[in-house]
Structure 1
Amino acid sequence: MSVWQLLVVGAVMLMGLCGVLVPGVPGQAIVWAAVAWWALDDITGLAWAVLAGATGVLLLNQALRPFLPPRRFKAAGVSRRSVLTAGAAAVAGFFVLPVVGGIAGFVGGLYGAERVRLGSRGDGWASARAILRAGGSSVLAELFACLLIVGAWVGAVVWG
């Protein structure tokens, strides 16, 4: 696969990561489709292993979805900016501190956005906890699954 094709696959994955944060957009399916596109073009054992792993992670995420709260951000009065800030911080955190940085980035970005919006530390934490109860944990689980897949893809492309 050429460099330009890899950049396009990476851009599609980035769109899928953003799609996880937007209700109604199938972000997980977009990330999986990008991995499938790459694996079908780069027919190596590593590419197929990444595709199989991505499929397993997304199936596990779908199996765990009923145990997580549904997204009810509008009813809880959550601003879209807070969720998007948390998502961007999760993506940055995942690449700064692989794997666990995504979770820390999401929670930290959510708290930071809420603290700026509300003006105090206590109100920021209370609001961040309310957002996580209102569906932020399900968004975090989907985003984390997709970040694991993107991280595996990047690792396979760089070291494969």
Structure 2
Amino acid sequence: MNTVATLLVGVAIFVGILGIVVPVLPGAILSLAAILFWAIELQTATGWTVLAAAVVLIGASQVVKYIVPERRLRESGVPRRSMFIGVVLGIVGFFVIPVVGLFVGFPLGVYLSERQRLGAHDQAWVSTKHALRVTGLSILIELIGTTLAAGVWLVAVLFLV
């Protein structure tokens, strides 16, 4: 595989990682697709091993990012309905206020849902903070898995191929 193609794969992996932090792109999927493309082009045992490691790391992070935060949400008492309303308002916010709308709409949606459910500002704000922490934890888990997969790919490119 030539240097330009390898560099483009690296850029796609990096953009995927950015897509995890700023959820505009399907970050982990984009990074995994770039590694898949690289492995297909390379056609070596190293390429397939790196791809297998990436699938395991990213796949595990995708599973864990739903299990751990879901348990924490249940423990804190924030219902799925509030998270759903937060996601819906986050999506609306993304289109209404470009770039930052998601970060305004999600907490606003959770807060409004919790305010309606609990009645008091203080309780709704506590629930909103729990939801934001859990969302951050989910992003962090996905970021760690994808970054580890990118690291495996980078080591292979720099030292094995």
Q: TM-score, normalised by structure 2?
A: 0.60
Change (3 A) 1:137 1:38: same
TM-score by length of 1: 0.60
Which residue does the alignment assign to 1:7? 7
**Equivalent residue letter for 1:45:** A
Distance 1:76 1:69, change over 3 A: farther
Q: Does the CA contact (< 8 Å) of 2:60 and 2:145 recur in 1?
A: no
> What is the RMSD computed on CA atoms of the aligned residues?
2.4
Q: Moved runs in structure 1, 4+ residues, more than 6 A? A: 129-132
C-alpha separation between the residues in 2 aligned to 1:39 and 1:142? 22
Question: Aligned partner of 1:4: which letter?
Answer: V
1:122-146: CA deviations, max 9, x gaps? xxxxxxx968624111111111111
The runs of 5 or more residues in structure 2 that have no matched partner are 71-82, 87-102, 110-128
Q: In the alignment, which residue of structure 2 is the partner of 1:99?
A: none
> Hey, what does 2:107 align to over in structure 1?
75
In 2: Cα distance, 1:33 partner to 1:19 partner:
13
> What CA distance in whole angstroms lies between the structure 1 residues aligned with 2:158 and 2:151?
10
* Counterpart residue number, 2:147: 147
Report how far residue 24 of structure 1 moved. Answer: 5.1
Task: Give the letter for the 2:47 counterpart.
Answer: A
**3-state SS of paired residue (1:25):** coil
Do the aligned residues in 2 keep the contact of 1:76 with 1:131 (CA within 8 Å)?
no
In structure 1, stretches of 5+ residues that fail to align are 78-128
Question: How many Å separate the matches in 1 of 2:41 and 2:132?
Answer: 39
Name the counterpart of 2:26. 26
Superposed displacement of residue 60, structure 1: 1.2
Work out whether 1:57 is the aligned partner of 2:57: yes
Q: Please identify the structure whose Cα radius of gyration is greater.
A: 2
Alpha carbons of structure 1 residues 76 and 137: separation in structure 2 relative to 1, 3 Å:
farther
Aligned partner of residue 69 in structure 1, secondary structure: helix
CA contact (8 A) 2:65 2:139 kept: no
The alpha-carbon deviation at position 57 of structure 1 amounts to 1.2
